[in-house]
Chains A and B, each alone.
Chain A
Amino acid sequence: MAGRLAGKIAGLLAAALSVAPLMGASADAPAVKPAVPFIEDDYARALSEARSKNVPIFVENWAPW
């Protein structure tokens, strides 16, 4: 149902990840203030900044469910 890897392995084995259920996913929708300066939903801007600073991009791919 959940878990960092355990539930995800189970989901893979059940071929269920493409149809993520309404329960057993991560619910992180409410906005919170992160400790590092995230650019929200703007890959082009992140790419440009990373190139000019010569640092890699760290991406958090998430979904609100």
Chain B
Amino acid sequence: MRAVVFTDKALSKHAGQFVWLSIDTEKAQNAPFVHKYPIGAWPSLYVIDPRKETVLLRWVGGASVAQLEKIFADGRNAYGGSAGTAQGDLARADRLYAEGRYPEAVPAYQAALATLPPKDPRYARAAESLLFSLGATQRREDCVALTLQDYPKLRGTTAGADFAASGLDCATGLPENAKGRSEAIARLEAASRESLADRRIPLTADDRSGIYSALFDARKDAKDETGAAAVAKEWVADLDGRAARAKTAEQRTALDPDRLGAYEAAGQLEKAIPMLERSEREFPKDYNPPARLALVYQKLGRWDQSLAASDRALGLVYGPRRIRVLVVRADVYKGMGDAAMERRTLEEAVSFAKSLPEGQKPENQIAGLEKRLGSLESASSQP
């Protein structure tokens, strides 16, 4: 978003409507903010009431200019007070969602949506917030049911495309013997394909990549290797084309993580190396290119090159991301069969994670790392 959407001059007319705040959640100085307003996924957009210091509205993920303008309107309305039942219900649902109270947000959004006509400009945002709440509460079947029910209402929009792909992700995650699973996958694959093909929908590269990813997983789920390979090939071509058309190095580099995913799906991980080397040359202070190179080399079993890239990343990285870089490094040592260095690196990751301030301390991640360390200890004590 930073490279493409927030640079769009169309947004400048909204400048006086808000005070604009950008928070890098990885910086230690922002830990108190993150502790006060927890982030469930990145990016997340908030509209905060400065009088009460409460979140009035939350949007998860990137957004187009058109979507942002709807968020601005809803945010201003929420700040100015409610008018009408739908807005009252929606405001309550938004508040629960903003507070991360997903189990309560689900029925609140359902109640709000029952009174909102699908053409209401708030409908799509409310439906997407409900979808995210269902995902956060692991309600796959409800996710599938919602996407099947609402896709026809949202067809031809960015939200519709998101619904198709999200529903497909949910459907492929259902147990294999779940009732209606195959039919749901078929319908949502068709909807995802339809969304990709509709060039009138202003999908971002990230949106399109999410759809390709869901389609790829669906073909893998069907054990259709030929179909999966065809999706991956199309996915790579789509992203490579966008990279070639990028107007700035920032816009091109922003595609790196999606391209990396597409290359891996296509079995072309080697293609990520020159891409990431170029990004590293163009943004020598950014830790992402060397961190990603370390991962690529690790996946390719090129241990020395992975460790060299990891060294460069560790020299630049800050905040919680350091843990992930260390975990990749530990994976390299594991691949090399060096259990002592694997253990030492994991211990370093745990120690660093525990040193992070509240708001950044990743308790689940720490638990996972300690479990892995415990397994290493058990293995080393075996006769």
- In Å, the complex CA distance between A28 and B283 comes to 11
A7 to B376, CA, bound (A): 32
A-B pairs with CB below 8 Å: how many? 304
One digit per residue, 1 when the CB lies within 8 angstroms of any chain B CB and 0 when it does not, for chain A 33-60 equals 1111111111100110111010111111
The reply to whether A35 and B12 contact each other, CB–CB distance below 8 Å, is yes
User: Which of the residues A23, A30, A41 comes within 8 Å of B286, measured between beta carbons?
Assistant: A30
Alpha-carbon gap, A11 to B364, bound state (A): 15
Residues of A within 8 Å of B182, CB to CB, are none
Decide: B324 and A20 in contact? CB cutoff 8 A.
yes
Q: Let me know if B2 and A9 touch, CB within 8 A.
A: no
Residue from B15, B131, B248 within 8 A of A9 (CB atoms): B131
Q: Given that A57-B47, A57-B50, A61-B45 are known contacts, is A13 also in contact with B138, CB under 8 Å in the complex? A: yes
Nearest chain A CB to B272 CB, angstrom units: 9
B210, A60: Cβ atoms under 8 Å? Answer: no
Query: A12 to B256, alpha carbons, bound, how many Å?
Result: 22
Is the Cβ of A32 less than 8 Å from the Cβ of B47? no
Chain B residues near A58 (CB-CB < 8 A): 18-21, 45-47, 72, 75
Residues of B contacting A3 in the complex (Cβ-Cβ under 8 angstroms): 61, 162, 165, 206-211, 213-214
Chain A min CB distance to B138 (Å): 6
Which of A10, A35, A61, A65 has the most chain B CB atoms closer than 10 A to its own CB?
Answer: A61
Q: Which of B16, B21, B37, B165 contacts A46 (CB 8 A)?
A: B21
A6-B169, A12-B136 are known contacts. Are A26 and B43 too (CB-CB below 8 A)? yes
- Assess the B48–A59 pair: CB atoms within 8 A: yes
Residue of B nearest to A34 (CB): B6
- Beta-carbon contact of A34 and B21 below 8 Å: no
A residues contacting B by CB (< 8 A) are 1-13, 15, 17-30, 32-43, 46-47, 49-51, 53, 55-65
Identify 25 residue pairs between A and B in the complex whose beta-carbon atoms are under 8 Å apart, listed by A's number. Answer: A2-B213, A3-B61, A5-B165, A6-B162, A8-B132, A10-B166, A13-B170, A20-B42, A22-B295, A24-B261, A25-B257, A26-B43, A27-B253, A27-B288, A28-B43, A30-B249, A34-B22, A38-B20, A47-B53, A56-B49, A56-B50, A58-B72, A60-B6, A61-B45, A62-B1
